[in-house]
Chain A
Amino acid sequence: MGYYDIDDILADSVEIPCKFQHDIPGLGYLENNPGKPISKNAKLDLPIWLARILAIVGGDANPDTMEDEEPLPFVELLTPDMFSPKVINAIKADPASLDLHAINSYFYSLATKWITLFNDKQLAEVVHNLLLERSQIINKYAGSVPVDLFHSSTDIGSGKKTGHSSHGGNSSMVRVSNSTFLLTLDEFEKKIYKKSHESYKDTKRWMFEK
Chain B
Amino acid sequence: MDIDIEDILAELDRDTTAVDESLPSHDEIPSESNTTSHTLLNNSLETGLNNDKNGKRITTTVATDNNLRIVSPELSFKQLMTCWRNERCAPELLPFPHELMKRMMSRIQEQMEYIENISMGFLENDHTHYSDHSPQDRNKLATDDDPVATRMNSNHDSKLPLLCMEAEIERVKFVIRSFIRCRLSKIDKFSLYLRQLKEDDTNIISLDEILSREELEYHERHFLISLKLLNDSVLKYMPTELQAINDTEGSVNMIEEPDWNKFVFIHVVGPPDGNLEKDSSLTTNEFNKYCYSVTIPELKEDVELTINSIYVMRYEVIRDLLKAGKVELI
Contacts and interface: CB of A to CB of B under 8 A. Distances in A.
Nearest to B252: A3
Contacts of A3: 252-256
Nearest to A9: B252
Interface of B: 251-256
A53 B252 CA distance: 11
Contacts of B254: 3
A52 B250 CA distance: 12
A3 B253 CA distance: 6
10 contacts: A2-B256, A3-B252, A3-B253, A3-B254, A3-B255, A3-B256, A4-B256, A49-B251, A52-B251, A53-B251
Contacts of B252: 3
B91 to A, nearest CB: 12
Contacts of B251: 49, 52-53
Given A3-B253, A3-B254, A4-B256, 7 more contacts: A2-B256, A3-B252, A3-B255, A3-B256, A49-B251, A52-B251, A53-B251
B58 to A, nearest CB: 46
Interface string A8-52: 000000000000000000000000000000000000000001001
Contacts of A49: 251
Nearest to B250: A3
Q: Which of A3, A4, A49, A52: most chain B CB closer than 10 A?
A: A3
Nearest to A2: B256
Interface string A158-187: 000000000000000000000000000000
Contacts of A2: 256
> Would you list the 7 A-B pairs with minimal beta carbon distance, nearest first?
A2-B256, A3-B254, A3-B252, A53-B251, A3-B256, A3-B253, A49-B251
Nearest to A49: B251
A52 B252 CA distance: 11
Interface string A96-118: 00000000000000000000000
A93 B97 CA distance: 53
Nearest to A3: B254
A4 B191 CA distance: 13
